[in-house]
Amino acid sequence: MLYSTPGVNRHDRRLTEESGPQAWLAEWSGQLQSRRRFLLQLAGGSLAALFPWTGSAAPAPDEAARWRVLDAVQRHLFPSEPKAPGAQEIKALEYLKFILANDPDKTEDRRFILRGAGWLEDMAHRLDRSSFLKPDESGRERVLREIEKSEAGSNWLSTILLYLIEALLADPAYGGNPDGVGWRWLAHIPGFPHPPPGKRYMELRRK
């Protein structure tokens, strides 16, 4: 029997079927190293260790404020357009909240994402003396490109982007992609049957 390669992409890894074994190993090795560094940084725990320039330019935002920052980040990273849905239309924040609240394996992601939002606010205050929520588009772009320069900041943005892509293209049962708006935009034909509540991946794990 042959098993077709599903394009198994845990986290943000991707190896194409076209890659030869050497490329496969090399890429895997690289991913291992970057994953290890990332985990080490997480294990360090403190924001200071994660983001060396973190100081106290502004009071730490509460959780509700962090979610507002995340909403603004998502809208900037995936803007709405007349003919193409953005973060708002694909309900990216709703998807992110649903996954982080319902998948017990995502506690680390949740912590990392919310901490990063606080740190982003801090960076915005340093650069612009105002919240990330306030500046214009070019101001937000400048702050995000600034945090991208660190490995941890780049990891944080990659994480947000991956959840955006999932919100766009995962089944609407998870809170994003309402009525298949993301599928329609990209002319993607989904398969049937769709998972009903009670049969989503975190629920199937209890079987």
Partner 1 sequence: MTNFDVCVIGSGAGAGPVAYTLAQQGRAVVVLEKGPWFTEADFYKDELACCRHSVYTPRLKNEQHVIEELGDDGTWLATPTSESGWSFWNGNCVGGSSNFMSGFFHRMKPVDFRLLSEFGPIKGANIVDWPIGYQDLEPYYDRVEKIVGVSGRLEPHRNIEPRSSPDFPYPPTAEHPVSGWIDAACGQLGYHALKVPRAILSQPANGRRSCEYSGYCGSFGCSSGAKGSARAALLDRAVASGHCQVRPHAKVHKLISNAKGRVVAAEYFDRAGQRRRVTAKVFVVACQAIETARLLLASTGPRFPRGLANNHGQVGRNLVFSAGGAGGGDLVYGELSAARAAELRAMGPFVNRALDDWYVIDDPALPGGRAKGGIVEFLFAHPNPIARADGAQRGQTSLVWGKPLKRLLEGRFH
Residues binding partner 1: number (CB under 8 A): 70
Residue of 150, 151, 147 lying closest to 77 (CA atoms): 147
Extract the tokens encoding 22: 């050497």
The interface with partner 1 within residues 14-43 (CB under 8 A) comprises: 14, 16-18, 20, 25, 28-29, 31-32, 35-36, 39
Q: Which is nearer to partner 1, 26 or 60 (CB)?
A: 26
Residue partners of 46: CB distance under 8 A and separation at least 6: none
User: Under a CB-based contact definition with an 8 Å cutoff, are residues 118 and 60 in contact?
Assistant: yes
User: How far does the chain reach from its first CA to its final CA, in angstroms?
Assistant: 27
Query: Is residue 187 involved in binding partner 1 (CB under 8 A)?
Result: yes
Q: Which is nearer to partner 1, 64 or 198 (CB)?
A: 198
Q: Which is nearer to partner 1, 20 or 52 (CB)?
A: 20
The interface with partner 1 within residues 53-92 (CB under 8 A) comprises: 76-79, 81, 84
Query: Is residue 186 involved in binding partner 1 (CB under 8 A)?
Result: yes
Q: Which amino acid is at 24?
A: W
Query: Is residue 138 involved in binding partner 1 (CB under 8 A)?
Result: no
Residue of 118, 200, 129, 203 lying closest to 156 (CA atoms): 118
The interface with partner 1 within residues 102-121 (CB under 8 A) comprises: 103, 105
Query: In sequence order, what DSSP letters do the residues of 35-61 get, joined into one string?
Result: HHHHHHHHHH-SHHHHSTT---SSPPP
Q: Which is nearer to partner 1, 48 or 101 (CB)?
A: 101
Q: Which is nearer to partner 1, 57 or 127 (CB)?
A: 127
Query: Cα 46–130–47 angle (5° rounding)?
Result: 5
Residue of 166, 124, 114, 174 lying closest to 145 (CA atoms): 124
- What's the min distance (Å) between Cβ of 79 and partner 1? 6
**Given the rule CB under 8 A, which residues bind partner 1?**
1-14, 16-18, 20, 25, 28-29, 31-32, 35-36, 39, 76-79, 81, 84, 103, 105, 141, 144-145, 148, 154, 157-158, 161-162, 165-166, 168-171, 173-174, 183, 186-196, 199-202, 204-205, 207
